[in-house]
Structure 1
Amino acid sequence: MTTRILIVDDEQGVRDLLTELLEQHGFDVTAVADSDAMFSALSALPHALVVIDLRLGKEDGMNVARQLRHKSVIPIMMLTGKGDETDRILGLELAADDFLMKPFNNREFLARVRALIRRTTELSVPARRDDLSSHERISFNDWTLDLTSRELFNAAGQPLELTYAEFNLLEALVRAPNRILSRDQLLELTRGNETEVFDRTIDVLILRLRRKIEPNPRQPSLIRTERGLGYIFSAHICQC
Structure 2
Amino acid sequence: MVDPTNAPAPAADLPAPPAPRQQTIALVDDDRNILTTLSIGLHAEGFATRVYADGETALKALLENPPDLAIFDIKMPRMDGLHLLQELRAQSRLPVIFLTSKDEEPDEALGLAMGADDYIAKPFSQRLLVARIRAILRRSELARSPAEAAPAADLPEPVQRGRLKLDPARHQVTWGGRSVSLTVTEFLILEALALRPGVVKSRNQLMDAAYSDDVYVDDRTIDSHIKRLRRKFRAVDPEFAAIDTLYGAGYSFSDG
TM-score (norm 1): 0.71
Q: What does residue 124 of structure 1 align with?
A: 141
Shift of 1:230: 2.8
Q: 2:68, 2:94 within 8 Å by CA — same for their partners in 1? A: no
Deviation string, structure 1 residues 135-162 (Cα, Å, up to 9, x no partner): 4222112332223443335665x76543
Asked whether 1:2 is paired with 2:22, we answer yes
Asked whether 1:137 is paired with 2:158, we answer yes
AA partner of residue 128 (structure 1): A
Unpaired segments ≥5 residues, structure 1:
none
Unpaired segments ≥5 residues, structure 2:
1-20, 113-117
Q: 1:78, 1:98 within 8 Å by CA — same for their partners in 2? A: yes
Q: 1:65, 1:76 within 8 Å by CA — same for their partners in 2? A: no
- Seen in structure 2, the aligned counterparts of structure 1 residues 58 and 198 have a Cα distance that, compared at 3 Å, is farther
AA partner of residue 99 (structure 1): A
Deviation string, structure 1 residues 112-167 (Cα, Å, up to 9, x no partner): 343122212132232239958964222112332223443335665x7654321222
Compute the RMSD of aligned alpha carbons. Answer: 3.7
- Seen in structure 2, the aligned counterparts of structure 1 residues 50 and 153 have a Cα distance that, compared at 3 Å, is same
Q: Which has the larger radius of gyration?
A: 2
Q: What does residue 7 of structure 2 align with?
A: none
> Which has the bigger relative contact order, CA under 8 A and spacing at least 6?
1
Q: 1:48, 1:75 within 8 Å by CA — same for their partners in 2? A: no
Q: Secondary structure at the match of 1:46?
A: coil
Q: Secondary structure at the match of 2:147?
A: coil
Number of corresponding residues: 223
- Seen in structure 2, the aligned counterparts of structure 1 residues 140 and 69 have a Cα distance that, compared at 3 Å, is farther
Q: Secondary structure at the match of 1:97?
A: strand
Q: Secondary structure at the match of 2:71?
A: strand
Q: What does residue 99 of structure 2 align with?
A: 78
Q: Secondary structure at the match of 1:180?
A: coil
Shift of 1:76: 0.7
Q: Secondary structure at the match of 2:25?
A: strand
TM-score (norm 2): 0.67
Any residues of structure 2 matched to 1:25-36 within 5 Å, and which? Answer: 25-36=45-56
- Seen in structure 2, the aligned counterparts of structure 1 residues 178 and 93 have a Cα distance that, compared at 3 Å, is farther
Shift of 1:24: 5.2
